[in-house]
Structure 1
Amino acid sequence: MKLFARRSVTAPIPEAPQRHRHRRRRFGVLTVPLAGVVAIVGFAALLSPGASAVGNPYERGPAPTAARIEAASGPYAVSRASVPSFSVTGFGGGTIYYPSTTEEGTFGAVAISPGYTARQSSIAWLGPRLASQGFVVFTIDTHTTYDQPASRGRQLLAALDYLTQRSSVRGRVDATRLGVMGHSMGGGGTLEAAKSRPSLKAAIPLTGWNLDKTWPELRTPTLVVGADGDTIAPVSSHSEPFYQSLPSSLDRAYLELNGATHLTPNLSNTTIAKYSIAWLKRFIDDDTRYEQFLCPLPRPSLAIREYRGNCPHTS
Structure 2
Amino acid sequence: MVRGFWAAALTTGALFAALIPTAPAAQAADNPYERGPAPTVASIEAATGPYAVSQLTVARASVSGFGGGTIYYPTSTADGTFGAVAISPGFTASQSSVAWYGPRLASQGFVVITIDTTTILDAPDSRGRQLLAALDYLTGSSAVRGRIDSARLGVMGHSMGGGGSLEAARSRTSLKAAIPLTGWNLTKNWSAVRTPTLVVGADGDTTAPVASHSEPFYESLPGTLDKAYLELKGAVHNTPTSANTTIAKYSVSWLKRFIDGDTRYEQFLCPLPQPSTVIAEYRGNCPHTS
TM value normalised by structure 1: 0.83
CA distance in 1, matches of 2:43, 2:79: 19
Equivalent residue for 2:119, pick from 144, 149, 152: 144
- Please list every run of 5 or more consecutive structure 2 residues that lacks an aligned counterpart in the other structure: 1-26
Equivalent residue, structure 2, for 1:196: 171
CA offset digits 1:191-229 (Å, max 9, x no partner): 000000000000000000000011000000000000000
1:63-82 matched pairs, under 5 angstroms: 63-82=38-57
Kindly indicate whether residue 231 of structure 2 is the aligned counterpart of residue 221 of structure 1: no
Q: Give, in whole Å, the separation in 2 of the partners of 1:203 and 1:276.
A: 10
Aligned counterpart in structure 2 of residue 276 of structure 1, from 251, 266, 272: 251
The letter of the residue matching 1:97 is Y
Among 96, 104, 109, which residue is 2:84 paired with?
109
Q: TM-score, normalised by structure 2?
A: 0.90
Q: Which residue of 1 aligns with 2:237?
A: 262
Q: 1:159 aligns with which of 122, 134, 137?
A: 134
What SS is found at the alignment partner of 1:143?
coil
Structure 2 residue 38 is matched with structure 1 residue 59: no
Q: Distance in 2 between matches of 1:284 and 1:74?
A: 17
1:248 corresponds to 2:223: yes
Is 1:303 paired with 2:275?
A: no
Deviations 1:163-189 (A, max 9, x none): 000000000000000000000000000
Matched, 1:122 2:109: no
Q: Percent identity?
A: 77
Q: What is the CA-CA distance between 1:53 and the residue it aligns to? A: 8.9
Q: Which amino acid aligns with 1:217?
A: A
**Correspondence for 1:212:** 187
Contact 1:206–1:224 (8 Å) recurs in 2:
yes
C-alpha RMSD of matched pairs (Å): 1.0
In structure 2, what residue type is equivalent to 1:278? S
Partners of 1:143 and 1:274 in 2: CA distance = 30
Alpha-carbon contact 1:53-1:59 (below 8 Å) kept: no
Q: Which residue does the alignment assign to 2:158?
A: 183
Instruction: Pick from 44, 62, 84 the counterpart of residue 87 of structure 1.
Output: 62
Taking the TM superposition and a 5 Å limit, the aligned residue runs for 1:27-42 are: none
1:253–1:307 CA contact under 8 A, matched in 2: yes
How far apart in 2 are the matches of 1:268 and 1:138? 17
Q: Deviations over 1:40-72 (max 9, x none)?
A: xxxxxxxxxxxx996100000000000000000
- 2: CA distance between counterparts of 1:174 and 1:102? 13
